[in-house]
Amino acid sequence: MSDQTDEFLRRVKAKKKQFEADLAKLNVDTHDSTNETKKQLEKKIDEMTVAIKQAGENFTDSIAEKINGWLK
């Protein structure tokens, strides 16, 4: 992998960790209003996990676009 790809993956892994921390904070809050937010974060984390794995195997433009969307 190129240095640019490695940096890209490090950035998305950091963003994933941020989402995981946000989810952990929401899990402490038991209000019903947070359930939808938790579901959205869990979905993003799952999608990021798959994209990171795919990027490690075969970095494509579609994976790069998906990851760029999360980093904005």
The residue type of 60 is: T
Q: Is the pTM of this model over 0.75?
A: no
Reading the block at residue 19, the tokens are 């989402």
Taking only the tens of pLDDT, the chain with its 72 residues reads 678 788 888 988 999 999 999 999 888 876 766 788 889 999 999 998 988 888 877 878 888 888 888 777
How many structural domains is the chain composed of?
A: 1
The residue type of 24 is: A
Boundaries of domain holding 38: 3-71
Reading the block at residue 9, the tokens are 């993956």
Closest to 64 (Cα-Cα) out of 9, 13, 10: 9
